Amino acid sequence: MILEIKVPSPGESITEVEISSLLVNNGDFVKKNQVIAEIDSDKATLEICAEASGRLFFKAKKGDTLKVGELLCIIDTSFLKKEENFLKEEKKEENFLKEEKKEEKKEEKKEENLLKKKKKLKNKFNRFFIVKKLTKLRQTISEKLVEVKNKTAMLTTFNEVDMRNILYLKNKYKFSFKEKHGVKLGFMAFFVKSCIRALKNYPDINSMIDDKGKNKICFKYFDINIAVAGPKGLLVPVIRNADTLSFREIEKTIKNFSLKIKNSTISIDEMIGGTFTITNGGIFGSMLSTPIINPPQSAILGMHSIVERPIVKLGKIKVIPIMYLALSYDHRIIDGKEAVGFLFSIKESIENPIKFLIGSKENLNNFF
């Protein structure tokens, strides 16, 4: 019996995928539910499993782009019944493999000829370049970035934040927080909480323009995207109803997302939607940047590295840990006054976390 395995639908609106890796060889025996390949959609990497035990033969190769529903491979399950049939099938498979190898050699020769054409040797230092195909995920990211630049009136406003109080709380409670909740107390929970407070004060930041460009959609809930770096690029999973979550729940959610992205097990549903995005270039050492809006949202907050700087306070120069913040926003529905006020609200929360995020000093021990 020949079983056909076709490309599954990774999610709504996705029509094609790219084969990112083949985890078994042609002619290999595979077991039911064994992972045989990985496919890249424009949002995530998904695993394909064998639907039955048998010998597997791929009908596509790594790097191919297939439409949803197209044939990926076949599994021959009949050879297990009789030894004679098995031997016959073995010969057929050998012939099949020979043909496959011939085709692969032809493809390799074609690729070699292409590389020869694309390598430009220059002067006595033998300088050259190699052209590589973009992954499906990277193609989609490129398209979205260009779309944002062309279809929005994007501006960026900046501010600096005194991080002393956040660092104090983080250092004081990091061991007890980890012991109590099993997760580290990071900066992101403070910024998520600060953004929610600011979004409530400036609701237009939590809005977007519809596809026709004639209506403003104002969200009354707070789904916060967090940019997380993975092996195949930057992904932005969504913390749903973030305003209802505690510090512990926010940190656990982010940790869970990071593990899933690292292991390529993040789902499409976990990255769909969102009303506002936070990205932290500071983990890579960025001092200052202008983050690009995550469409179709209207604004994004950029965090950066914490650096000690000389700051004048009450007429005296002090060395203070400072973080620069950047808010990129769509000027079509967000005025400069709102953008500046929103960013100042975040600065206010971060510099006075007990007053604006926790409530009182008495709550501290129970809060964390």
CATH no. for residue 344? 3.30.559.10
Phi, psi (5° rounding) for residue 300? -145, 140
* Residues 97 and 213 occupy one common structural domain: no
Question: What is the tens place of the pLDDT at every residue in 247-303?
Answer: 999 999 999 999 999 988 888 889 889 999 999 999 999 999 999 999 899 999 999
Looking at the structure of the chain, the number of domains it has is 2
Handedness of CA 285, 276, 168, 257 (dihedral sign): negative
* Residues 64 and 173 occupy one common structural domain: no
- pLDDT score at 88: 60
Do residues 41 and 14 touch, judged by C-beta distance below 8 A?
Answer: yes
The residue behind tokens 């074609």 is: 110
* Residues 186 and 314 occupy one common structural domain: yes
Give the mean model confidence (pLDDT) for residues 113-128: 62
Question: Does a structural domain hold residue 123?
Answer: no
* Residues 101 and 154 occupy one common structural domain: no
C-alpha separations of 245 from 185, 196, 306 in Å: 14, 11, 26
Question: Does a structural domain hold residue 27?
Answer: yes
- pLDDT score at 93: 63
* Residues 22 and 165 occupy one common structural domain: no
Identify how many contiguous H helices and E strands the chain contains and give both numbers. 8, 19
- pLDDT confidence band for 125 (50 / 70 / 90): low
Give the mean model confidence (pLDDT) for residues 45-57: 89
Q: Output the 3-class SS for 171-215.
A: HHHHHHHHHHHCCCCCCHHHHHHHHHHHHHHCHHHHEEECCCCCC
Domain boundary among the residues 111, 136, 168 is at 111
- pLDDT score at 78: 79
Tell me which DSSP letter residue 203 carries: G
Domain boundary among the residues 87, 111, 135 is at 111
Question: Does a structural domain hold residue 224?
Answer: yes
Give the mean model confidence (pLDDT) for residues 54-74: 91
What CATH number does the domain containing 34 carry? 2.40.50.100
Query: Greater confidence, 172 or 129?
Result: 172
Domain boundary among the residues 58, 92, 111 is at 111
* Residues 242 and 333 occupy one common structural domain: yes
Range in 33-47, 235-249, 307-321 the model is least confident about = 33-47
Rounded to whole angstroms, how far apart are CA atoms 161 and 260?
31
Beta bridge partners of 156: 328
Encoded tokens for 137: 């995920």
* Residues 229 and 181 occupy one common structural domain: yes
Rounded to whole angstroms, how far apart are CA atoms 361 and 275?
32
Do residues 303 and 278 touch, judged by C-beta distance below 8 A?
Answer: yes
* Residues 103 and 162 occupy one common structural domain: no
Question: What are the catalytic residues?
Answer: 331, 335
Q: Taking 50 as the threshold, does the pLDDT of residue 62 lie above it?
A: yes
Question: Does a structural domain hold residue 120?
Answer: no
Tell me which DSSP letter residue 28 carries: -
Question: What is the percent of the chain where pLDDT is above 90?
Answer: 57
Q: Taking 60 as the threshold, does the pLDDT of residue 86 lie above it?
A: no
Give the mean model confidence (pLDDT) for residues 175-189: 93
Encoded tokens for 346: 């975040």
Task: Show the domain range for 259.
Answer: 149-367
Question: Does a structural domain hold residue 124?
Answer: no
Q: Taking 80 as the threshold, does the pLDDT of residue 121 lie above it?
A: no
Question: Does a structural domain hold residue 328?
Answer: yes
* Residues 289 and 350 occupy one common structural domain: yes
Helix, strand, coil percent content, the chain, rounded in steps of 5: 40, 25, 35
Question: Does a structural domain hold residue 144?
Answer: no
Whole-number mean pLDDT of the chain?
Answer: 87
Listed residue (154, 161, 190, 158) closest to 174, CA to CA? 190
Rounded to whole angstroms, how far apart are CA atoms 347 and 105?
61
- How are strands ordered across the β-sheet holding 54-58? 2-6, 71-76, 54-58, 29-30
Phi, psi (5° rounding) for residue 35? -75, 125
Give the mean model confidence (pLDDT) for residues 19-25: 92
DSSP assignment of 95-114: HHHHHHHHHHHHHHHHHHHH
- pLDDT score at 83: 45
Phi-psi region of 289 (alpha: psi -120 to 50; beta: other; left: phi over 0): beta
* Residues 167 and 95 occupy one common structural domain: no
- pLDDT confidence band for 211 (50 / 70 / 90): confident
Q: Taking 80 as the threshold, does the pLDDT of residue 126 lie above it?
A: no
- pLDDT confidence band for 79 (50 / 70 / 90): low
* Residues 103 and 180 occupy one common structural domain: no
- The dihedral formed by the CA atoms of 77, 81, 86 and 92, expressed in degrees to the nearest 10: -40
* Residues 267 and 172 occupy one common structural domain: yes
Question: What is the percent of the chain where pLDDT is above 70?
Answer: 89
Tell me which DSSP letter residue 291 carries: P
Query: Greater confidence, 6 or 148?
Result: 6
